[in-house]
Chain A
Amino acid sequence: SQKIEQNSEALNIQEGKTATLTCNYTNYSPAYLQWYRQDPGRGPVFLLLIRENEKEKRKERLKVTFDTTLKQSLFHITASQPADSATYLCALLPYNQGGKLIFGQGTELSVKP
C-alpha cells in the first residue's frame, strides 16, 4: 500500500542547533516532494519543493535532500530559533492526479531558547 510517514514524536532542540526532520514514502514513484509549515489552528504554508531529479535544495536556513532510492527526504533547519517551533509537513505530489497533495502526519518541532 502507499504510505508517507514522518517522525511522529515531537522533536525538541536547543536554539542555534540544526533540526533534522525525516519523511519516508513507499509505493509512490516517481514523485515530487514539498515541505510545509503548519502552526496550530492555521493552514499549511509552503516552504520548499524538491523534484525527483534533484538531490538537494536550499532556501536561507532551510535545506531539503531527496533520495529516490531510499524513498526518503530530509528537512534541515540550521541555526534554529524559537520562532521555528511549529509542525512541519511533507507532502507528495504524484503524477497526473490533478495537483493532489498527499500529506504526512507532520513532525512537531519545539526550539527552546
Chain B
Amino acid sequence: SQTIHQWPATLVQPVGSPLSLECTVEGTSNPNLYWYRQAAGRGLQLLFYSVGIGQISSEVPQNLSASRPQDRQFILSSKKLLLSDSGFYLCAWGRNNSPLHFGNGTRLTVT
C-alpha cells in the first residue's frame, strides 16, 4: 500500500534562517505531488505541485521554493524565513481522477 511521510512534525526557526521540509512517498511511482499551507483559522492554500522529476509549478508568489530531485521526493525550501511563513504545511500525492492523500503535516513556527 502507499504511504506518505513528512518530517519534521514540528519546527521552530528564527526569522532569516533557511528551511527544508521533506516529503517522500512509498508504494507508487510517478505520483503528482503537492505542497499546501494552512494558516491559523484558514483553509488550505496550494503552494506548489509537480507532475514529474524536476517539474515544479508555483501557484502563488512567495518566499518559498520547491524541488523534486527524485520521483517520490518533494522538498519545500526557503533561503530566509519570514514571520508570515509560519503555518501548517501539508504534502500530498495523487493521480489523475483520484483523491489526494495527505501526510501528517509539519507545524512551522517562525520566531
| A complexed with B | no
Residue positions of B touching A, CB distance < 8 A: none
